[in-house]
Chain A
């Protein structure tokens, strides 16, 4: 398929149109130091979450607990800095990511071994993980003063005009995209999502792959928790509440089919960027930001409808190719 006709190109185009129109209305939206920074920085956390979610959705599952995992690991990050100020930043980040991976692994283990729907399990762990954070944190909150300067600096610092958080998000995106696209394990994730029964019959390690997908999603939610702490400086027990629906929305807008088996993490990342950029663009073009969610909702529904139209057209073309195929072969042998 040519580059221009890909689903991702459509989202990228929509993103460019939004940025273009808003910049015409108010040049500072793109053409100022702050505007450029916000454009790249704001979506970074959602991009990381969306990449992890996309991997799970590709396997025909869903992880609703990511918002709660983000909250738990963000608070963990702050707590670690508070109790052990001498710990290097990298170690703290790794601990938070590992904690996220463990939480994801719990989801994955229940889904893969008990063979129960991920929607129900992760809805349950959404409550459990949030409850753990609430119990642990109580009404405490981590403040900027509790965390090292250099760590908070990561949330706002830029390298060559690009925010550090954005660089982290891009590295994550590139690594996961490369894995999904080229490695055996990555391709197996698509196979499992296309048809779990067929994948099992073929002898693919379905359970192992599901565990891996959920662990990766959890680890990335853990990383997002670290980024959240660095970006906002304050972490309360409610951090990331309700984020799961935003993430699933971004993934769906990005063209990852909720039935699994198709879509790319790049699309999901673009979907996340589009959602958040529209949110920031609306007030600029004169629409009160109260209407943000309505626009986002309409966008999600529009994107699913578009996917349906494209899928129907594709399957019609495939069916046509199938119907003409065998007769051609007969002619060749005759």
Chain B
């Protein structure tokens, strides 16, 4: 049996994810007591409907960022699947077939990203900036400035209907199911362990038998498929399929994931933190909107929260490191003489070396 320095409840509660969760609860309580109308039933309904696309896409994005990669093309896949869905409906196909075909197309989009990143060894940041333009271009090219509207009411009502008399929309069930699936995938399967291992060191993961390339490919395919599903939802929710649907959503998703405590370097992250991050942005948004504050202040709040969420732990961590190095003045940072520093090798021309987002500045290895 393993022994730990801290009891289990401290390990579960004193985490980065719980901090986001705590801020979410505080934000909710403050909003409910200060903002008029926030505790009404409609708030919950619209909150769920509004955060649904971000929450959906954030789930696979969590896994991708946990490997140290990134997928910026997600919002463009939303647009492309929205357009495909609309065109297939226009062609007279049924709901099931149209959804399935759109999601498949999303999976193909993801597979293209994944193949370029995993098998061609290209940096994911650059690849997905390219496919962001490519997929959006296809979406806009297919429909131009026109839109497909007039979906059957049974379809559009399904996207916004409530569960009986409760304030929760029907889609809550689907969201909960997918959150559970991804939580199990990341935290309770060998696949999820591999994902985090790749994030810590893709090299070490490869040597210990993890099929890094296949894992990355699967993650990008998942990201494409789930983004396409979000595209179908987006189309039905607003009753309109347009090429420019969800433009810029990728930045919101990345912001929510990082707020949820996932490290941009990979190697750490948890689904419950990300759910809290997504809801936090949603709650701040709806509370500020109810207060009559416009979208600009919400932007400032999200941006500041993002910066603080990354900088604050570094400052705390930096203080801790400094205190430790005072205790041990020769603390391991300098390489022994006559030996080349090991971590200086393999920055370039090595497909496996370095994460695509690799914006590492000095001292990140600590």
Contacts and interface: CB of A to CB of B under 8 A. Distances in A.
Interface of A: 60-62, 110-112, 114-121, 123-135, 194-201, 206, 210, 237, 242, 245, 248-249, 252, 257-259, 261-262, 288, 290-301, 304-305, 308, 311-312, 314-315
Interface string B159-180: 0000000000000000000000
Given A125-B303, A127-B303, A257-B348, 13 more contacts: A61-B359, A110-B307, A114-B315, A117-B310, A117-B357, A117-B360, A121-B307, A131-B297, A131-B299, A245-B132, A298-B130, A304-B123, A304-B126
Contacts of A196: 360-362
Given A117-B265, A258-B356, A305-B116, A293 B362 contact: no
A195 B347 contact: yes
Interface of B: 70, 72, 116, 120-123, 125-127, 129-138, 140-141, 144-145, 243, 247-248, 251, 254-255, 258, 264-265, 294-307, 310-311, 314-315, 318, 335, 341, 343-344, 347-351, 354, 356-365
Contacts of B130: 249, 252, 297-301, 304
B362 A206 contact: yes
Contacts of A135: 296-297, 300
B349 A315 contact: yes
8 contacts: A120-B306, A123-B254, A125-B303, A126-B251, A130-B296, A131-B301, A200-B362, A288-B144
Contacts of A121: 307, 310-311
B359 A131 contact: no
Of the listed residues B121, B137, B265, B351, the one surrounded by the most CB atoms of chain A closer than 10 A to its CB is B137
Contacts of B348: 194, 257, 259, 261-262, 311, 315
B347 A300 contact: no
A130 B299 CA distance: 7
Nearest to B134: A297
Do most interface residues of chain B lie in helix, strand or loop, or is the interface mixed? Answer: helix
Nearest to B298: A131
Contacts of A120: 258, 264, 306-307, 310
Nearest to B335: A201
Contacts of A299: 130
A200 B365 CA distance: 13
A304 B128 CA distance: 11
Closest 10 CB pairs of A and B: A294-B137, A297-B134, A127-B303, A134-B296, A293-B137, A297-B133, A315-B349, A300-B130, A131-B299, A131-B300
Contacts of A201: 335, 341, 344
Do most interface residues of chain A lie in helix, strand or loop, or is the interface mixed? Answer: helix
B349 A297 contact: no
Given A115-B364, A304-B127, A124 B303 contact: yes
A314 B299 contact: no
A198 B298 CA distance: 41
Nearest to A111: B361
A210 B361 CA distance: 9
A281 to B, nearest CB: 15
B300 A115 contact: no
B144 A290 contact: yes
Contacts of B138: 294
B295 A134 contact: yes
A249 B299 contact: no
Contacts of B141: 288, 290-291, 293-294
B131 A301 contact: yes
Contact of A197 (B127, B129, B365): B365
B264 A290 contact: no
Contacts of A111: 361
